[in-house]
Amino acid sequence: MERVDYDKYLRTSRIPHIWCPGCGHGIAMKSILRAVDHAGWTKENTVWVSGIGCSGRITGYVDFNTLHTTHGRAIAFATGIKLANPKLNVVVVTGDGDGTAIGGNHLIHAARRNLDITVVLLNNNIYGMTGGQCSPTTPQGAKATTAPYGNMERPFDIAGVVAACGGNFVARGTVYHVNELEKLMRQAFLKHGFSFIEVMSPCPTAFGRRNKMKNAIVMMEDLKERSVSVKKAKDLTDEEREDKIVNGVLLDRDKAEYTDLYRQLIEQLRGS
């Protein structure tokens, strides 16, 4: 692995962070910073936007222009930033509650528009910050404080949803598979157009504890055991794939990007 001077990118005075021991978000943050470093993005040209929840706190720790916005709306704020100044690199960090429940509508439409922003969704299958309520990615049967008898609803395959909506790049990785995650993260950050990466990140405090996974190690092992590659997943039956985590690139293409199209419209109108 390349050496990265993380302190250059961190507000060291804001550390220690508030994430629990065993939380995967720190690993995800490191992976994002490595991708930012690799892409050569700087404080002058990069803006980070987050919503509410554990994932939302990341904007407090990275030393860039950072927006900690309202619940679910990070992508909508990011849309305004990118359109007003298309030269900026815009990173959105969201979670499964923030990004797929209250913010689900913004996510699918940003993908549809193919706006050149990078959305990282930290999926820990639970509302962690508010104390362990059920989220749209909580597995069927899992327990949560608002699903004391087990969750009756089927969870989102959120990367699959986004890939169906549009965008240029969609991938899924886990904080267990850090090397592969970094590779996916790099691809996502370098891609022109809407790119989305779902990162499976364990929450021992609010999810594991209630679901027979005593600690972070058990949860990490679970990530390892349930993971299959996109390629291998193709050979599985629907039933076999049911509780698997399918990792890798789900979508990679180069459709026209939104701000490019808008710039062309402006040039056309002003030229005539």
Nearer to another protein, 142 or 161 (CB): 161
- Judged by CB under 8 A, does residue 265 bind another protein? yes
How many helices (H) and strands (E) the chain has is answered by: 11, 8
Structure tokens at 116: 């050149």
How do the residues of the chain divide into helix, strand and coil, expressed in percent and rounded to 5?
40, 20, 40
Nearer to another protein, 1 or 266 (CB): 266
- Judged by CB under 8 A, does residue 60 bind another protein? yes
Nearest-angstrom CA–CA distance, 129 and 32 = 21
7, 8, 15, 105: which one binds another protein (CB under 8 A):
105
- Judged by CB under 8 A, does residue 101 bind another protein? no
Evaluate whether 117 touches 90 at the Cβ level (below 8 Å). Answer: yes
Residue with tokens 């109108």: 269
Structure tokens at 17: 């962070």
Nearest-angstrom CA–CA distance, 239 and 244 = 10
User: How far is C-alpha 257 from the geometric centre of its chain's CA atoms?
Assistant: 20
- Judged by CB under 8 A, does residue 2 bind another protein? no
User: Residues 181-220: x/- map of binding to another protein (CB under 8 A)?
Assistant: ----------------------------------------
Nearer to another protein, 112 or 226 (CB): 112
Number of residues binding to another protein, judged by CB under 8 A: 38
Nearer to another protein, 236 or 261 (CB): 261
Residues lying near another protein in the complex (CB under 8 A) are found at 14, 43-47, 49, 59-60, 63-70, 73, 76-85, 87-88, 105-106, 109, 262, 265-266, 269-270
